[in-house]
Structure 1
Amino acid sequence: MPVHSPGPFSPRVLTVLVTALLTALAITLPRSSAQAATAPRRGSAHMGMGVLAHDGQGGTPSMGYVTQTEGVDVSAHQGNVAWSTLWNSGVRWAYTKATEGTYYTNPYFAQQYNGSYQVGMIRGAYHFATPDTTSGTTQANYFVDHGGGWSRDGKTLPGVLDIEWNPYGATCYGKTASQMVDWIADFLDTYKARTGRDAVIYTATSWWTRCTSDYDRFASADPLWIARYASAPGTLPAGWSYFTMWQYTSAGPAVGDHDKFNGALDRVQALARG
């Protein structure tokens, strides 16, 4: 009896076979690999990257209750920044991302950090923390060695520890609350030993509550930069009774995330002078 070759699959049969194959691959694919396929590129993190996803956005800032000074924060995402445009819009202070972990430095750092200074702004640098890659001490040293230092020129703000949602994996970087507090303390202690200044802590209340279990002892020395895209900064992390800076939007009237300093320009200058 002759052997006949099977004919082509019908579209319906082909669809069923492809679906079954994809399902089998999804089941066998390690979870870490699946996450890696959707995670952003290492080094691409920036201040407030997870704010919209976790805290949402609820209005524009109310200016009725305190004198505030407009600021901006930028990273490589903004590229070369038109600082004169920002200055003319009323921005008077700026922070630039310098480093992330111990594997990334901002390729636009010089243009952003020096450019803001040259138009008359008071400027500073920030570090995006990745507590799951290296120790707090190691990352603080890396930050200081790559632009995160401080000088007594009256125009340089203390460095910022940007500690927030992990864009690359587990929200709390795989650490318990006590481990996270220890990591943060190591970073802050090392930064102060290297520069003589207490670093600013940038965070969001929801992340701080979840990942430090409302630890409240950093507030006595380290200024708070709160992230919340709403008409008011809302409830602050444990220990802080007021904020020093407030990132209120990621879609400001000009380039970068926009911020309010909790006081007039002379208070920004006072923080710069230490």
Structure 2
Amino acid sequence: MPVHRSGPVRPRHLAVALALSAALLAGLSLPAGAAPARGSAYMGIGVLAHDGQEAAPTAPSLAAQTEGVDVSGYQGDVAWSTLWSNGVKWAYTKATEGTYYTNPYFAQQYNGSYSVGMIRGAYHFATPDTTSGATQADYFVDHGGGWSKDGRTLPGVLDIEWNPYGASCYGKSTAAMVSWIADFLSRYRSRTGRDAVIYTATSWWTSCTGSYAGFASANPLWIARYASDAGTLPAGWSYYTMWQYTSSGPTVGDHDVFNGALDRVVALANG
């Protein structure tokens, strides 16, 4: 798996994602070798191809916001002190994907962000076509996705979005997708005592869950949209907790804002 250790742009995997997504949207078969390798997905892999153009990498103007980043194996060893000095106060690291992948840079990324003073958490890239939601929740918790009430650890994130390896909705009906997500969330809560954050994009959620609104009361929303505003939110949520607003920010590409001041980030960490 190629690793881009610095710079905001990830041209190779972005090009692959765009080509893959375009083929899927057109209903075409992928050419031999076009699909990325299992384990190579990351938060926001389909956003540019499905949800419009990239915004200028400038933090949105909100009354109270706290800058964050999300990272995966693509970033390799992250310059956490640089991010911290530039105002980044929280971070999420990809821990797992399916039940077949763990991020080889997880320790440096997860512990490194904590060491410079950030509030940190872990995310799981869901593959609903490979194993059950509960099985993947267990894999996630067992490989870095747990939670501790230390005031510095955020609840785990279910990254549920376009399938980079095949059909966008993983071959599931809307009812089956909702059931899979519920299975994951239920097991995660039983293992950790926390409700997981849901990371998704409105267009994917509308298409693949049938605009299901039943998770909004318990699960914080992390919305993906690279534009000047977060746009229409998925069904059920009246506000977002986090917003991934660009994939071309400084030091690492994926930058986010928390919808509140730093004390609200701490509150989410504390449950």
TM-score normalised per structure 1? 0.86
Alignment check: 8 A CA contact 1:62 1:232 kept: no
Residue 125 of structure 2 aligns with an amino acid whose one-letter code is: F
Residues 154-173 of structure 1 correspond to what in structure 2 (within 5 A)? Answer: 154-173=151-170
Among 33, 41, 45, the alignment partner of 1:37 is 33
Among 190, 204, 208, the alignment partner of 1:207 is 204
Mark the runs of 5 or more structure 1 residues left unpaired by the alignment: 1-30
**How far apart are 1:255 and its partner, in Å?**
1.2
Change (3 A) 1:221 1:111: same
Change (3 A) 1:83 1:141: same
Cα separation, 1, equivalents of 2:30 and 2:118 = 43
What's the secondary structure of 1:126's corresponding residue? strand
Partner of 1:19 in structure 2? none
State whether structure 2 residue 43 is matched by structure 1 residue 47.
yes
> Structure with the greater relative contact order (CA < 8 A, sep ≥ 6): 1 or 2?
2
State whether structure 2 residue 36 is matched by structure 1 residue 56.
no
Partner of 1:271 in structure 2? 268
State whether structure 2 residue 143 is matched by structure 1 residue 146.
yes
Alignment deviations for residues 23-50 of structure 1 (CA, whole Å, 9 cap, x no partner): xxxxxxxx99845521001000000000
Partner of 1:5 in structure 2? none
Alignment check: 8 A CA contact 2:55 2:246 kept: no
Cα separation, 1, equivalents of 2:236 and 2:255 = 25
Alignment check: 8 A CA contact 2:200 2:223 kept: yes
TM-score normalised per structure 2? 0.87
Change (3 A) 1:261 1:174: same
Partner of 1:182 in structure 2? 179
Mark the runs of 5 or more structure 2 residues left unpaired by the alignment: 1-26
Percent identity (aligned): 78
Among 133, 136, 143, the alignment partner of 1:136 is 133
Among 116, 121, 126, the alignment partner of 1:119 is 116
Residue 194 of structure 2 aligns with an amino acid whose one-letter code is: R
Higher gyration radius (CA): 1
- The aligned length equals 244
Cα separation, 1, equivalents of 2:54 and 2:165 = 26
Cα separation, 1, equivalents of 2:163 and 2:74 = 18
Aligned-pair RMSD on alpha carbons? 1.5
Partner of 1:3 in structure 2? none
Residue 175 of structure 1 aligns with an amino acid whose one-letter code is: K
Moved over 6 A (4+): none
